[in-house]
Amino acid sequence: MLDKYRIFIFTVLAVSHIYCGNSDYSSSSGPDTGAESFTDASADYNKDIETNDESGFVAGGDITNALASSRSGDCETYVNNYTSNVIDLTTGKSFSGRVSILYNGDKCAISSNGIPNHNMGEGGSFPNSISEVSQSYEFTSSPQINSEPIRNIWKVSVVLLNGGVVDILPAACYGVGNNPLGREKVGCGSSYIDHPWRYDPMSSLNDFGTDIHNAHAQPNGLYHYHANPMAMFDGDCNNQSSASPVIGFAADGFPVFGSCILDQQTGLVREVLSSYKLKDGGGPRKTVNGYQTPIAGNGNIASSNYDGQFRGDYEFVEKSGDLDQCNGMTVDGQYGYYITNSFPWVLNCFSGTPDDSF
């Protein structure tokens, strides 16, 4: 049995992406943030607690295929140790997931071995094999909305309660790197954060080899998501009696909710709507000063129109949906981001200040 308080050393993970073939690559390294005392509300990982969907991601224990249950934006709610037993369906290899959520009053922390609580690989085309990869992130327990959003969402932007991570941006931009034009795969890193023609991993016009969970494996083996994990919450909003639960936390400490919300006018549960639309109604792409404009027929470029193949094909249209430019909103006094089934999928900026451990 662990003591109620234990010393937890965090390894700050600075994640850089390289999109390689049908996968993007993230390597993690960085200085320790120092020792901090975090509350550990459960026993060690081997404590046998029966899976309970009604208290999924709260009570601790086995969360294999469990659904999240709480809408609390207080990260302390989820303090516990969790395990899972899943399979890499591309190889048949079995994995045991391990997740620990800790709290010290100022920050919460989620550490894992990078293995989620569901089977991996179904429907995907992974050039890289899944491996356990140690992940450790911490974030403020009292996030505040800044006067201006932070638009640099390079590196990991969200850590989920199942220990998985969400990487929004691939390192692939039109006209960047040594690959043939229209087939770019590497080279578009953090120095190109404002590049308008960064490929969107979730566009049907691109092939990132993701599985049914919108995830794939990086060359170092880390299984990671680019959008809706298609797990942890029931996404069929028409058959829900309540809004979706919290499924993770962004780097700035704000919670990430599933896709279902309670419509304040009708009193019915429905899918949350993004406020992003294709520019000019999907008309021809316009030149952006300093950047080469994607043209149909160059490599794998599908058209010369704003068709969603690139993240820059979209623009924020205020009040066209439910959410703000970062893909968040405030409900019952709690600000949070929402999983959407259209661009920007999870978030497009940080409303608060991201922690350096991401």
Residue 191: predicted pLDDT: 93
pLDDT digits (tens, 9 = 90+) for 192-223: 999 999 999 999 999 999 999 999 998 899 99
Residue 284: predicted pLDDT: 98
pLDDT digits (tens, 9 = 90+) for 247-273: 999 999 999 999 999 999 999 999 999
Domain spans, the chain:
5-170+208-232
- Which residues partner with 310 through β-bridges? 199
Q: What angle do CA 51, 119, 30 make, to 5 degrees?
A: 95
Give a three-class secondary structure readout of the chain. Answer: CCCCEEEEEEECCEEEEEEECCEEEEEEECCEEEEEEEECCCCCCCCCCCCCHHHCCCCCEECCCCCCCCCCCCHHHHCEEEEEEEEECCCCEEEEEEEEEEECCCEEEEEECCCCCCCECCCCCCCCCCCCCCEEEEEECCCCCCCCCECCCCCEEEEECCCCEEECCCCCECCCCCCCCCCCCCCCCHHHCCCCCEECCCCCCCCCCCCCCCEEECCCCCEEECCCCCCCCCCCHHHCCCCCCEEEEECCCCEEECCEEECCCCCCEEECCCCEEEHHHHCECCCCCCCCCCCCCCCCCCCCECCCCEHHHEEECCCCCCCCCCCEEEECCEEEEECCCCCCCCCCCECCCCCCCC
Residue 47: predicted pLDDT: 33
Closest Cα to residue 213, out of 123, 130, 133? 123
Residue 55: predicted pLDDT: 63
How many other C-beta atoms can be found within 10 angstroms of the C-beta atom of residue 147? Answer: 4
Region 13-17 average pLDDT: 35
pTM comes to: 0.86
Task: Check pLDDT > 90 for residue 11.
Answer: no
pLDDT digits (tens, 9 = 90+) for 316-358: 999 999 999 999 999 999 999 999 999 999 999 999 999 999 9
Region 80-89 average pLDDT: 97
